[in-house]
Amino acid sequence: AVQLPVALIVAATHASLGIGRAGTLPWRLPTDMAMFRLVTSAPGSGSTASSQPAVVMGRKSWESIPKKFRPLKNRVNVVLSRTVTDFGPGTHTFSSLSQALSALSPTPPPASTIPPVSSIFIIGGAEIYTEAFKHPATARVFLTTVYADEEALQCDTFLPDFRSTGEWEQKPTADLRRLLNDMECHEAVPLIPEDGDRVKENGLEYAFTLWEKR
Ligand code: NDP
């Protein structure tokens, strides 16, 4: 069984939930990147000095990270692939999501090659998100909603429409602020605009939202 709650973290367009284009991100959103780094690096309330958060990603998302930025620092990097068994130093590879989630633990067995993990973030892409939405351990979604001209953005990769299934509930922004504080992620809170406002960057507007499994 999975010992830690699992959260998705993703930026997607408002109308069609577009997340990617031609193997990369369809935008450059510096404040969202800062939020991603802070949230996925947060020690978490139950953390110990030796444990770090884990980021779980698909092989294509791993390849989309510039070489100088990977593995993502201060996080346990987990890459899922059915074809590649080793992505190099500082990475851990599994051939299924459930195997990966079961291996990530605050107290791994002594023989484990995986270090202790304080929390688990699913960081993409579409294939991994789609599977993670169906996994019972997935409890939370940090969704950056991007308000954009969807035609102009030309996304070719999308999230499944989890918002309309009735399984997920959007929480008030106050809950997101409280959760970030509980996660010891205090630096992220000031990145959230006043209620009703959006971040405006590079001609796009976006909002940080929190969703929880009902
Ligand atoms: P993924 O990153 O989801 O990687 C897919 C690969 O992961 C597969 O080809 C396979 O690798 C492996 N894989 C998938 N499912 C499993 C499984 N259950 N077990 C083991 N391995 C598995 O690719 P996508 O094309 O879906 O998404 C990439 C796009 O998403 C890019 O455009 C990227 O920029 C974007 N993205 C956007 C984000 C956002 O927040 N907007 C965040 C992250 C990515 P193999 O073929 O080696 O077997």
Say how far apart CA 97 and CA 106 lie, in whole Å.
Answer: 18
Residue 36 alpha carbon, nearest atom of ligand 1: 40
Going by their DSSP bridges, the two strands 138-147 and 76-80 should be labelled as unpaired
Count of CB atoms situated within 10 Å of the CB of 76: 22
What's the 133 CA to ligand 1 centre distance in angstroms? Answer: 14
Say which CATH number the domain at 182 has. 3.40.430.10
Number of domains composing the chain: 1
Q: What's the gap in Å between 183 CA and the centre of ligand 1?
A: 27
The pTM score is: 0.97
Q: Is residue 193 part of a domain?
A: yes
Tokens of 142: 């940090």
| Residue numbers of the domain that contains 69 | 6-213
Name every protein residue with a CB atom under 6 angstroms from any ligand 1 atom.
10-11, 19-20, 23-25, 57-61, 64, 80-84, 95-97, 123-128, 131, 157
Indicate whether 1 belongs to any domain. no
By the 8 A CB rule, do 15 and 153 touch? no
Cβ partners under 8 Å of residue 196, min gap 6? none
Structural domain contains residue 90: yes
Element (H, E) at 63: helix 59-64
Atom of ligand 1 lying closest to residue 84 CA: 47
Q: In this structure, which residue's CA is closest to atom 41 in ligand 1?
A: 19
pLDDT tens for each residue of the chain, 214 residues long: 888 989 999 999 999 999 999 999 999 999 999 999 999 999 776 667 789 999 999 999 999 999 999 999 999 999 999 999 999 999 999 999 999 999 999 999 999 999 999 999 999 999 999 999 999 999 999 999 999 999 999 999 999 999 999 999 999 999 999 999 999 999 999 999 998 899 999 999 999 999 999 9
- Within 10 Å of residue 136's Cβ, how many Cβ atoms? 11
Ligand 1 centroid to Cα of residue 128, in Å, is 6
Give which of 213, 176, 207 is closest to 11, Cα–Cα.
207
The alpha carbon of 4 and the centre of ligand 1 are apart by a number of angstroms equal to: 22
Helix (H), strand (E) counts: the chain: 6, 11
Q: Does the interface predicted TM-score (ipTM) exceed 0.90?
A: yes
